[in-house]
Chain A
Amino acid sequence: MNPIIRINQLNLYYGSFHALKNVSMDIPEKEITAFIGPSGCGKSTLLRTLNRMNDMIPGTRIEGKVEIGERDIYGDQVEVEALRRNVGMVFQQPNPFPKSIYDNVAYGPRLHGTRSRSELDEVVERSLRQAVLWDEVKDYLKRSALRLSGGQQQRLCIARALAVQPDVLLMDEATSALDPISTLKIEELVQELKTSYTIVMVTHNMHQAARISGRTVFFLNGEVVEASETQQLFSNPRDSRTEDYISGRFG
């Protein structure tokens, strides 16, 4: 394993609630890692820790270390904006800006200083192609993104995240609001993207984790119970709590 993310003895508190307990793990580069577990187990909290989205929640306190690349992302010198450019995120509900398709994708690069029209054109096309949306929208780039279907909007959000060329893409239940066909398209897309990006996804759909991830991490009550190769975890889990959860005995 070639880890790009190293989490060491991470504890996170929301006020007095201990949401993540002594979490340590390495997340391999250019692979898909899935976080699974029942609601409230800490999987989304950990995902949001990876691009410091929890900073916005008052009363959050973090102990331990999270390194992405060689950088401690909770270190003093870290600019959160730069971190989020490097660690993009896609949410459960597609959230395109009420702008054109083009402007949605160009938003990040513009924010980070790209002004040249030809450069922006190139970024928009490359990102939409990577998100397997280009062929569907290339003739309507000036159209409002809000006119796209839910699945297309989600792929647009992925294109928007890719436009700033992140190393890591976080996906928080990114297909749970989509129909099965749109879900399948996103799953295929994510499989493609792993050749260039590290993807960490939270999913309630265990079969999705089994289908597309290389590694799966099972959380329970803020702790990591088991982190294994996905095939190992779903065929012969080491911990009986993992077996009970994936077999539907609780959760």
Chain B
Amino acid sequence: MIQRKEFDLRLEGLRQLLREMGEHVRAALQNAVTSLQNLDLDLAAEVVAKDAELNQMEEQVMELGSKLIVTQQPVAKDLRKIIVAFKISSDLERMGDLALDVAKVTLRMNTQNLVKPLVDIPKMASLVEKMVEESLASYLDENTDLAYKMAQDDDEVDQLYSQILRDLYEVIRNNPDQLQQALLLTLVGRYIERIGDHATNIGESTVYLVTGQRPDLNQ
């Protein structure tokens, strides 16, 4: 039989770990994009160095969740809480990796000047950062309305991504010698867009946690 008090404490522990992971990802994304905008190599290096912490937190979630399954044999919403913790921690870890990839682009650019001032990438990044915050809030507050609302922002992210691709295509056409940098910036757009997709996954996990149904918010 489930030892309810201890079990509830540990479930709350899982939730707090995910909160921390979310904070970590939000900061990593913000710093990675800032490092690119300002070509701040130190800040980029910091993002790279901190990624290991996120991986450790994901492992903690896996370990604690597995232990709860083995020792408490949870059912119904208790079980969904653990399944969702696994899923969200994996999404957050991937988001951290993508932020890391953005920081690595900064490092690869080294000190070369940007071919054009970054406009849409920071715009998309701040929209995605908001999605990350809202997806986490939807999970922490079990707020499915917020999950659905957040997922709608993904359309705008996709539009910005298309715009970024068009602009960079123009850059490549007009300045073929800037091909390498333009390709790197294309990748940055792709990385940030993928972070938005993972935020949408977190929204889906929230809906599953609350209702037991699996919606597709990535449409």
How far is B82's CA from A247's CA once the two chains are assembled, in angstroms? 13
> Does A210 touch B at the CB level, under 8 Å?
yes
> Does B75 touch A at the CB level, under 8 Å?
yes
Q: Which of B66-88 contact A (CB under 8 A)?
A: 73-80
Residues of B within 8 A of A206 (CB): 75
- If over half of A's interface residues share one DSSP class (helix, strand or loop), that class is named, otherwise mixed; here it is helix
Contact A234–B76 (Cβ < 8 Å): yes
Tell me the smallest distance from the CB of A206 to a CB of chain B, in Å: 7
Q: Which of B179-219 contact A (CB under 8 A)?
A: 211-212
A-side interface size class:
10 to 19
Tell me the smallest distance from the CB of B121 to a CB of chain A, in Å: 42
How far is B154's CA from A162's CA once the two chains are assembled, in angstroms? 62
Residues of A within 8 A of B2 (CB): 247-248
How far is B77's CA from A235's CA once the two chains are assembled, in angstroms? 7
Contact A248–B1 (Cβ < 8 Å): yes
Residues of A within 8 A of B212 (CB): 235-236
> Does A237 touch B at the CB level, under 8 Å?
yes
Tell me the smallest distance from the CB of B108 to a CB of chain A, in Å: 47
Known: A235-B212, A236-B212. A210 touches B75 (CB 8 A): yes
Residues of B within 8 A of A249 (CB): 4
> Does A72 touch B at the CB level, under 8 Å?
no
Known: A236-B212, A248-B1, A249-B4. A207 touches B76 (CB 8 A): no
Residues of A within 8 A of B77 (CB): 243, 247
Scoring A residues 223 to 251 as 1 if CB is less than 8 Å from chain B, else 0, what string do you get? 00000000000111100000100111100
Contact A235–B4 (Cβ < 8 Å): no
For B, the interface residue count at a CB cutoff of 8 angstroms equals 15
Known: A235-B212, A236-B212. A247 touches B78 (CB 8 A): yes
With both beta carbons as reference points, the residue of chain B lying nearest to A248 in the complex is identified as B2
Contact A247–B73 (Cβ < 8 Å): no
Scoring A residues 54 to 67 as 1 if CB is less than 8 Å from chain B, else 0, what string do you get? 00000000000000
Which of B1, B3, B73, B76 interacts with A235 by CB under 8 Å?
B76
Tell me the smallest distance from the CB of B181 to a CB of chain A, in Å: 51
Q: Which of B1-43 contact A (CB under 8 A)?
A: 1-4, 7
Residues of A within 8 A of B1 (CB): 248
Residues of B within 8 A of A234 (CB): 75-76
Tell me the smallest distance from the CB of A149 to a CB of chain B, in Å: 27
Tell me the smallest distance from the CB of B72 to a CB of chain A, in Å: 8
Contact A243–B73 (Cβ < 8 Å): no
With both beta carbons as reference points, the residue of chain A lying nearest to B74 in the complex is identified as A247
With both beta carbons as reference points, the residue of chain A lying nearest to B211 in the complex is identified as A236
How far is B185's CA from A130's CA once the two chains are assembled, in angstroms? 70
With both beta carbons as reference points, the residue of chain A lying nearest to B78 in the complex is identified as A247
How far is B205's CA from A138's CA once the two chains are assembled, in angstroms? 55
Known: A235-B212, A236-B212. A243 touches B76 (CB 8 A): yes
How far is B77's CA from A234's CA once the two chains are assembled, in angstroms? 9
Scoring A residues 35 to 62 as 1 if CB is less than 8 Å from chain B, else 0, what string do you get? 0000000000000000000000000000
How far is B79's CA from A207's CA once the two chains are assembled, in angstroms? 13
Residues of A within 8 A of B7 (CB): 248
Residues of B within 8 A of A246 (CB): 75-76
Extra A-B contacts (19), CB below 8 Å, given A235-B80, A249-B4: A206-B75, A207-B73, A234-B76, A235-B75, A235-B76, A236-B76, A236-B80, A237-B76, A246-B75, A246-B76, A247-B4, A247-B74, A247-B76, A247-B77, A248-B1, A248-B2, A248-B3, A248-B4, A248-B7
The 6 A-B residue pairs with the shortest CB-CB distance in the complex, in nearest-first order:
A248-B2, A236-B212, A234-B75, A246-B75, A243-B76, A247-B78
Interface residues of A (CB under 8 A from B): 206-207, 210, 234-237, 243, 246-249
Listed A/B pairs (6) with beta-carbon separation below 8 Å = A234-B75, A243-B77, A246-B75, A247-B77, A247-B78, A248-B3
